[in-house]
């Protein structure tokens, strides 16, 4: 599903050029659950952003679902993203002005799903993450675990092929964290590909494969099962 070869990514300021990712190669199969680990600043978040088409790459190739997307413009990327990729962030990133229901509904609006259909799908997914009773609450009225469940619901409501999770349990206590990991595992078992950046060895155990990075390069890959 994801095939990245010889990826280079630099950050330039006026005087310094920093290599963020250096000649990186990654393959992710459809239906896989991959964890990316490494110390702060090793480039794992940059990698995740590139996979999620939020950032562009300087050199190399990125094939997503057999299509070369490295040179896509913003519009094409946005299209690809909204139909295929769901995001879960460490800091949840829910919109404060929208209720739980409306936050989850948002991706469906951007993909022009009709209102009746939207309502059905949002309710389904809210049931799935067991937050239906909070559907009319605003994010700041929820606990961290509940917020992250909403974020997961929002990530999957469009039935994306791929979910990108950036330290999804980073702001949660262990029991809430486990709940979220169980949710992700369930999704994976239902066929969704998951790429997750994490610091937690515990969370990494939920994945099929762990990619370890250092200084912008993959240094080790281990299969967990």
Per CB under 8 A, which of residues 60..79 are in contact with another protein? 74-75, 78-79
Asked whether position 110 contacts another protein by CB under 8 A, the answer is yes
Token pair listed for 22? 């250096």
**In this chain, which of 33, 62, 64, 87 binds another protein, going by CB under 8 A?**
87
**In this chain, which of 12, 66, 97, 175 binds another protein, going by CB under 8 A?**
97
Using CA atoms, how far apart are residues 38 and 34, in angstroms rounded to an integer? 13
73-78 long-range CB contacts below 8 Å, 24 or more apart?
77/53, 78/53
* CA neighbor of 30 nearest in space, from 49, 11, 3, 52: 3
**In this chain, which of 19, 98, 132, 214 binds another protein, going by CB under 8 A?**
98
**In this chain, which of 2, 44, 47, 107 binds another protein, going by CB under 8 A?**
107
**Min separation Cβ 103 and another protein, Å:** 9
Asked whether position 52 contacts another protein by CB under 8 A, the answer is yes
34 vs 85, which CB is nearer to another protein? Answer: 85
42 vs 210, which CB is nearer to another protein? Answer: 42
**In this chain, which of 44, 154, 156, 207 binds another protein, going by CB under 8 A?**
154
3-state secondary structure of 144: helix
DSSP-assigned states of every residue in 129-172: TT-GGGTTS-GGGS-HHHHHHHHHHHHHTT--SEEEEESTTTTS
**Min separation Cβ 75 and another protein, Å:** 7
Using CA atoms, how far apart are residues 48 and 71, in angstroms rounded to an integer? 17
């Amino acid at each position: 599903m994801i095939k990245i070869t010889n990826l280079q990514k630099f950050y330039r300021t006026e005087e310094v050029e920093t290599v963020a990712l250096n000649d990186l190669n990654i393959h992710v199969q459809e239906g896989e659950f991959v964890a990316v680990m490494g110390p702060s600043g090793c480039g794992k978040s940059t990698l995740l952003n590139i996979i999620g088409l939020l950032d562009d790459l300087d050199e190399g190739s990125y094939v997503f679902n057999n299509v070369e997307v490295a040179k896509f413009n913003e519009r094409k990327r946005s299209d690809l993203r909204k139909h295929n990729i769901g995001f879960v962030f460490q800091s949840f990133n829910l919109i404060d002005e929208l209720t739980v229901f409306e936050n989850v509904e948002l991706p469906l609006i951007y993909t022009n799903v009709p209102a009746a259909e939207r309502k059905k799908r949002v309710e389904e997914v809210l049931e799935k993450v067991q937050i239906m009773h909070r559907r009319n609450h605003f994010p700041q009225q929820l606990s961290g675990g509940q917020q992250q469940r909403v974020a997961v619901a929002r990530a999957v409501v469009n039935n994306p092929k791929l979910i990108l999770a950036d330290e999804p349990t980073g702001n949660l206590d262990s029991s809430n964290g486990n709940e979220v990991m169980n949710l992700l595992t369930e999704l994976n078992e239902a066929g969704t590909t998951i790429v997750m950046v994490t610091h937690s060895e515990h969370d990494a155990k939920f994945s099929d494969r762990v990619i370890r990075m250092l200084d912008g390069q993959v240094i080790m890959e281990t299969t967990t099962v």
